[in-house]
Amino acid sequence: MDLDFSPQDQAFRAEVRAFLEAALQPRFRELAARTTTVFGEPPEVLDWQRVLDDKGWLVPHWPADVGGQRWSPIQRFIFDQELARAGAPVLPGMGLKLLGPVLYTFGTPEQKAVWLPPLRRGTQFWAQGFSEPGSGSDLASLRTRAVRDANGDFVLNGQKTWTTMAQHATHMFCLVRTDATVKPQRGISFLLVDMAQPGVEVRAILSASGDHEVNEVFLDNVHVPAANLVGLEGQGWTIAKFLLENERGGSSYGPALVADVARLRAGLAALPCAADPILRDRLVRIEIDAMSLEMTELRILAGMAAGDAPSALSLTTKLIASEIRQAVEQFATEMLGMAGLALPEDRADPARTAAARYLNSRAWSIFGGSSEIQLGIIARGALGL
Ligand SMILES: Cc1cc2nc3c(=O)[nH]c(=O)nc-3n(C[C@H](O)[C@H](O)[C@H](O)COP(=O)(O)OP(=O)(O)OC[C@H]3O[C@@H](n4cnc5c(N)ncnc54)[C@H](O)[C@@H]3O)c2cc1C
């Protein structure tokens, strides 16, 4: 197996690195350094989104006719590696990674023209309204009702929960029940909801770290024009499955983990406990796991670049990444000793974010499908059980 990148790929890496050195201003690096949740926070993260959009590199994974790049899977991986290595803020993925592909795959030409440009530009900001109290892993049991009015528009009533960044959202894509008389999966539709209207109420859920990342969203007689139905009425479950596959399998997790282990190593070197053999041994084990995941993802991408379908290995990466992410953040708190337990209000000093990051990392084995659900997916999809 040839493990080297081709000369073309190495030239591409140099081009990306040179761009990031010029474009990734200190304020963007500082945003990333103080972020303890999954994504960088608006409005600053949207400035970074626009820098990438101006360069044409915001949505390289989209088709070229809607703003994507014709990059190979390996080039996309190199791009992710360079972003992580440079310490760029993580862009909120609800619009760019989840809704965008749904719109260009299932949307009408009008829907693509209306919704994709502001999504890319960040002038509209999207939340994902799937989970409800009692309907997370068992998503098909969701109860938010959408009933047609006299004009054929929809009226929504119900509650969504764990809605990431809904406090910033101008819009939310939602799964709703449009038919309660058929098999649960067949009665679900996919709607685009304007958050700035009467009847939409967003209530904060503060996490154990004190961060405001997730929310409850209450919908009380909320109006949604018929034109905001994506796909056919009753096709929402098919669309949701497509979207969840993108959420679980469409990301490379290794580059960010490898880059964060490198930062841990640098942080440890500056501490009095730097020579502790037990700590060093643990860090190396985490590093090997992160590098192995990165190598596995490269193998998956190399197969795809050669025209193969995504291999069964791709079903395993979210589960493994969650475990490594939690090990990274646990190590970061423990190497700091008592200082690693502090939960300061002020997150401006990145050295004081370890405890919040550790607490937030516990959510990795829950969101985007819990680890137990991932094991079920691997058992059925990869092992045929
Ligand atoms: C930080 C964070 C951000 C999130 N952001 C969003 C968002 O933006 N939009 C959104 O729609 N949702 C979001 N979620 C919700 C997330 O998708 C759900 O929390 C997740 O799907 C689990 O559902 P649940 O919380 O209802 O737990 P449950 O489904 O009630 O699960 C409880 C426990 O039972 C286990 N379990 C359940 N079913 C099975 C089974 N069949 N086999 C084995 N074990 C099982 C689970 O693994 C878990 O340990 C977010 C969650 C978190 C924590």
Active site residue 247: yes
Q: Do domains 7-91 and 252-381 have the same CATH topology?
A: no
Cα 367 to ligand 1 centroid, rounded to whole Å: 6
Domain 252-381 has what CATH class?
mainly alpha
Greatest distance between any 2 Cα atoms in the chain: 73
Cα 113 to ligand 1 centroid, rounded to whole Å: 33
Catalytic residue chosen out of the listed positions 41, 213, 247, 294: 247
Domain 126-233 grouped into CATH 2.40.110.10 = yes
Name the residue with tokens 């990165």. Answer: 294
Checking DSSP bridges between strand 229-230 and strand 188-194, what pairing results, if any?
antiparallel
pLDDT one-digit tens code per residue, 6-49: 999 999 999 999 999 999 999 999 999 999 999 999 999 999 99
pLDDT one-digit tens code per residue, 341-365: 888 776 666 668 999 999 999 999 9
- CA-nearest residue for atom 41, ligand 1, is 373
Torsion angle, alpha carbons of 136, 137, 138, 139, to 10: 50
> Contact at 8 Å (CB) between 207 and 360?
yes
- CA-nearest residue for atom 13, ligand 1, is 162
State which ligand 1 atom lies nearest to the alpha carbon of 164: 8
What is the arithmetic mean of pLDDT over 177-185? 97
Residue 318 has pLDDT above 90, yes or no: yes
Cα 369 to ligand 1 centroid, rounded to whole Å: 6
The pTM of the whole model exceeds 0.85: yes
Cα 229 to ligand 1 centroid, rounded to whole Å: 25
| Rama region for 374: left / alpha / beta (φ>0; ψ in -120 to 50; rest) | alpha
- CA-nearest residue for atom 29, ligand 1, is 137
The ranges assigned to domains in the chain are 7-91, 126-233, 252-381
What is the arithmetic mean of pLDDT over 331-347? 84
- Binding-site residues, ligand 1, Cβ < 6 A: 128-131, 136-137, 162-164, 213-214, 363, 366-367, 369-370, 372-373, 376
Cα 210 to ligand 1 centroid, rounded to whole Å: 20
| Dist CA 152 CA 144 (whole Å) | 18
CATH of domain 7-91: 1.10.540.10
Residue 314: φ, ψ to 5°: -65, -20
State which ligand 1 atom lies nearest to the alpha carbon of 370: 47
Q: What is the pLDDT of residue 341?
A: 84
